[in-house]
Chains A and B, each alone.
Chain A
Amino acid sequence: MTRPASKTQDGTVTVLKIGEARDKLPQMVSSLESGSSATYVVGRYGKPAAALVSYQRFGPMLVRGNKKAKLALLIVEDLLEDAPQHIKAPAIAEVSRLPMSDLMALWRLDTLPTNDREAAVARKKLQHPEAFDRLMQRARIAQAIAEARSAGLYEMAEDAANEVIDAQSQESE
């Protein structure tokens, strides 16, 4: 039977047997996905064996030991998901230099804001809003590249590059 085990600062800790966890997995995931800060502990043979938490809470757990670079990597992979590696890499380096409070504020963003009002709200939470502005600029680069890719523009332009020399010769004749 599911029962609250204790109440922590982060939310409820619920202990389940493995069979209960199997049955309730979709509900637990939905609850975590919608912002619950609960922890579900799955026990086997009377001992805790695994825990289920939201992805938002999982990231910082990965970087215990002040490994800010790892958290920066997770933030950038999340916010600049489709960007080419040469756009992401300098962003990771830049974000990893931010204080932990800024890293946590960025980590809590599901996506980068899409309008000025949301951007202003996000900036207010940061000690270094200029880093946020640069992240937004990098996102715009990634967006421009993604749009050009999906339009097939690069392949067209690379093909046309072969004709540029001919076109120049004709112009100069």
Chain B
Amino acid sequence: MNDGSLLVARVAPDSLGETLEWLGSDEPPFQPVDPLDFLSSAEIVAVYELYRTQYLRIDDRLNIGMPEALLEYNRWVIVVDRSGNVLAFSCYKTTRHGLKLGLTAASDDAAGKAALKAILRLGLNVRGVYGEVSGGVERVVAGRVPEVPPDVAEQVLGKAVEPHQDGRHYTREITNVGPKTKLLVGNPLLD
């Protein structure tokens, strides 16, 4: 995975079939995009609005003042319908262990929610794709994606974790939030 490129995949909801194997590569439907072109696209405006709609419901402090800040993430999957409306998105960041799931959101309609569930369930089964989950996302992917034990999670995240007795979950400190119970899922690349 090339960390020097911004790749964006624009996909239709019906293309989210049995597998998302391409997510673990830099191949199509990923397309290289100049960050400045991405910022001037209609999609980033819709993604930014979706982010604000969904995340500010949870916490006012999650307000990202400008779409530019979303470019922390260098892999984007954007689900668009035939009219070009953004139904859902998920973004990732390249790390030495593969693609780490970053932000996700879906529109409030059924198609958006279904698309997001498909991305999460299929994507986290792809080699080199992983994410730290809890709450609603954990329930969506539970039993459908591999789990990573806490001692490996600590190595992958590079952050101290406190393993739970169940051998699956751990607690770690989230900046500005405090200690949270998490589960690392997916298929991170290990040394």
Contact = CB atoms under 8 A, between A and B. Distances in A.
Interface of A: 84-90, 134, 137-138, 140-141, 144-145, 147-149, 151-169, 171-172
A163 B64 CA distance: 17
Interface residues of B, number: 46
A90 B116 contact: no
Nearest to B90: A161
B72 A84 contact: yes
Interface stretch (B11-19, B100-108, B163-171): B100-108
16 contacts: A86-B5, A90-B6, A90-B36, A140-B68, A148-B72, A149-B72, A151-B176, A155-B176, A158-B103, A160-B55, A160-B58, A162-B136, A164-B136, A167-B57, A168-B54, A172-B108
A165 B137 contact: yes
Q: Which of B36, B134, B180 has the most CB of A within 10 A?
A: B36
B84 interface: no
Given A138-B35, A156-B62, A162 B135 contact: yes
Given A157-B64, A164-B54, A169 B136 contact: yes
Interface of B: 3-6, 34-36, 39, 54-55, 57-59, 61-62, 64-66, 68-69, 71-72, 74, 101-106, 108, 113, 116, 132-140, 174-177, 180
B152 to A, nearest CB: 19
Contact of B4 (A89, A151, A152, A153): A89
Given A138-B36, A155-B174, A86 B74 contact: yes
Contacts of B3: 84-86
Contacts of A169: 136
Given A149-B72, A165-B136, A165-B139, 5 more contacts: A87-B71, A144-B71, A153-B69, A162-B137, A168-B106
Contacts of B68: 140-141, 144-145
Given A88-B4, A162-B134, A162-B138, A156 B59 contact: yes
B39 to A, nearest CB: 7
Contact of B135 (A89, A166, A172): A166
B135 A156 contact: no
A138 B65 CA distance: 16
Nearest to B109: A172
Nearest to A141: B68
Contact of B58 (A84, A90, A153, A164): A164
A160 B62 contact: yes
B92 to A, nearest CB: 11
A49 B108 CA distance: 71
Given A84-B74, A89-B4, A160-B58, A148 B64 contact: yes
A88 B134 CA distance: 33
Contacts of A148: 64, 69, 72
A167 B58 contact: yes
A166 to B, nearest CB: 4
B36 to A, nearest CB: 6
A153 to B, nearest CB: 7
Contacts of B176: 151-152, 155-156
